[in-house]
Structure 1
């Protein structure tokens, strides 16, 4: 048997580099790191590269930005390329290790503009990050955008805490909701739920 496809991957779009130009590499304030996530999430859906989601990986103590990620599902054609996964993979590639919390390594934080979906919850759990900062939690993102976030267990925060991951929530929550609302109100919105449940409002209108 000869396989026709033996590799896959995703690359941050050029506009991300442009957006980061002039941004300080050191962002010691938690809200500043979340503002960066909001900024990237807001532009991502306007650029058509994916949904309104972004993540920032940083050193938990100094706030040094180690990697950023945006949702690249539409740009890559890969359902796994959510913002958290992209950011964590880039941070791991830069560090040369799959375990961002390995021995001798400083604690790492992941800032995301909403609670992780079911898939990204697992990615966070196994990444080695010590701190998860989110803009908010709840079903607002599903109501405002139509995305299926999956079956999250009600004790997800406790499960992360039991594995050494601190969770901080409600950091610039209203800014996140404004981005989701903007996405959901677009006439050309694409909601990429799997299993034939994806939809495009453009097609529906036609």
Structure 2
């Protein structure tokens, strides 16, 4: 047999560069970094490139932004292209290593506008980040948007802590909820859960 597809690739939409051009190279605190994630998440769904999710990878000590990511499932046609995965992969590509917490490297922070889903939880575990900063946790994102975040274990924060990942939550939580609410109230959104369990504009109100 002959494989017809042997490689794939993704890139950030052009509008992301426009947003980041207005951001300082180093952001002094977690709130500043979360504000960038919120801005990117809002614009991502408004641009139609993916869901209302974004992530920022930075040097935890200096606040230097190393990479950003937005959800690119719709833009790429790839279910794995969640914001955390995109941001971490870009940071790893820039660093030339799969382990962002390797010997001699500064501690790395990942800021996301909500708790990771089941898939991105695993990505955080194996990435080498030292700190995870999230706007909030809980099932609000599922109720407001209809997304299936997967079977997260109740002790997920403890499991991260056991692997050296510090978790800080409730950073600009209300801004995240406003973005999710806006997404969920749109009539033209696509909720891309697998197995035919999503919804698109043609099924709104059904």
Answer yes or no: same fold by TM over 0.5.
yes
The answer on whether the counterparts of 1:132 and 1:167 sit within 8 Å (CA) in structure 2 is yes
Alignment match, 2:150: 150
Alignment match, 2:191: 191
Task: Spell out the pairing of 1:163-182 with structure 2 (5 A cutoff).
Answer: 163-182=163-182
Structure 1 residue ranges, 4+ long, deviating more than 6 angstroms after superposition: none
Deviation at 1:205, TM superposition (A): 5.6
The answer on whether the counterparts of 1:187 and 1:202 sit within 8 Å (CA) in structure 2 is no
Alignment match, 1:105: 105
Alignment match, 1:50: 50
The answer on whether the counterparts of 1:161 and 1:167 sit within 8 Å (CA) in structure 2 is yes
CA distance in 2, matches of 1:205, 1:163: 43
Gaps of at least 5 residues in structure 1 are: none
CA distance in 1, matches of 2:6, 2:30: 40
Alignment match, 1:200: 200
CA distance in 1, matches of 2:54, 2:202: 24
Q: Normalising by structure 2, what TM-score?
A: 0.98
CA distance in 2, matches of 1:146, 1:203: 13
CA distance in 2, matches of 1:23, 1:156: 32
Alignment match, 1:133: 133
Note closer, same or farther for the CA distance 1:135–1:44 as it changes in structure 2 (3 Å cut). same
Gaps of at least 5 residues in structure 2 are: none
CA distance in 2, matches of 1:98, 1:81: 17
Deviation at 1:203, TM superposition (A): 4.0
Alignment match, 2:39: 39
Q: Deviations over 1:48-102 (max 9, x none)?
A: 0000000000000000000000000000000000000000000000000000000
Q: Normalising by structure 1, what TM-score?
A: 0.98
1:5 aligned to 2:5? Answer: yes
